[in-house]
């Protein structure tokens, strides 16, 4: 159903950020006047203070400023006082260190996994090459956005998880135990190990993470098919920056 818009501006349009910057300039000036450290992008703002008590005071006073001076409604459900590493800003968060590092927020990782999972669900029955072609634009864009991350563990874990999903696809496509054994032997596994693995009666997900599949279908296999590595792409972009 289509209905006329009575308030607000279209999401993604150039007018929204322009108006938010015009309106929230007064907020930035107020925070600077108070001497607060803060980051703001459009209507998303993090303010950094030294204690929980100070955070509660600032949240209450800034909420009052926004509602009474600027006539804006503050989303209480998305506003909170918390440690920096427990919050996120534009998809990023911070590590729990004396000298914090910029990291990818867990919620951003979960969203990528959901998006990648949807590609696999829609691509059932597709060849490995076709699936990788569908995945690559998502992975390349995600790596480009999060190239500022200072930690690599999340990228390594995600690369490993994606390769495991692809190995699971292969295991399902091979279907029969004899076909699985033959493909494992073609990939370099000894005959005895290949047949033992092929007839283990475990499920596809278990086999995709087992040593026989990791040994037979290595990272180099996916590199040859052109699969984008989040870690490799991010490092390359960081070197170019």
Span 62-80, pLDDT tens digits: 999 999 998 888 888 888 8
User: Tokens for 75?
Assistant: 């989303």
What would the mean pLDDT of 125-144 be, rounded to a whole number?
94
* Residue 92 β-bridge partners: 89, 104
* CA 201, chain centre distance (Å): 34
Does residue 12 register a pLDDT over 80? no
DSSP 8-state assignment for residue 67? I
Looking at 7-11, 125-129, 174-178, which range is the least confident one? 7-11
Alpha-carbon distance of 18 to 23, in angstroms, equals 9
User: Tokens for 64?
Assistant: 């009052």
* Residue 47 β-bridge partners: 38
Count CB atoms within 10 A of the CB of residue 227: 21
User: Tokens for 74?
Assistant: 């503050």
Radius of gyration of the chain (CA): 24
Binning pLDDT at 50, 70 and 90, where does residue 8 land?
A: low
Count CB atoms within 10 A of the CB of residue 147: 15
What would the mean pLDDT of 121-126 be, rounded to a whole number?
83
């Amino acid at each position: 159903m289509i209905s006329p818009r009575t308030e607000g501006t279209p999401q993604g349009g150039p007018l929204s950020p322009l108006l938010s910057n015009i309106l929230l300039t007064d907020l930035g000036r107020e925070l600077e006047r108070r001497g607060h450290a803060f980051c703001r992008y459009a209507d998303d703002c993090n303010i950094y203070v030294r204690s929980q008590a100070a955070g509660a005071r600032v949240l209450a006073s800034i909420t009052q400023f926004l509602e009474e001076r600027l006539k804006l409604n503050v989303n209480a459900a998305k506003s909170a006082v918390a440690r920096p590493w427990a919050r996120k800003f534009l998809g990023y968060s911070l590590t729990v260190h004396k000298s914090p590092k910029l990291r990818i927020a867990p919620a951003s990782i979960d969203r990528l996994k959901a998006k990648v999972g949807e590609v696999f669900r829609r691509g059932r029955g597709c060849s490995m090459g076709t699936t990788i072609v569908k995945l690559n634009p998502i992975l390349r864009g995600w790596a480009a956005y999060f190239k500022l991350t200072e930690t690599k563990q999340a990228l390594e874990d995600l690369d490993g998880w994606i390769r495991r999903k692809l190995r699971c696809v292969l295991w399902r496509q091979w279907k029969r135990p004899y076909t699985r054994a033959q493909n494992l032997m073609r990939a370099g596994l000894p005959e005895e190990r290949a047949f033992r693995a092929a007839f283990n009666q475990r499920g596809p997900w278990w086999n995709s993470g087992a040593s026989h599949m990791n040994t037979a279908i290595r990272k180099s296999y996916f590199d040859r098919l052109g699969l984008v590595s989040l870690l490799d792409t991010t490092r390359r972009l960081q070197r170019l920056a």
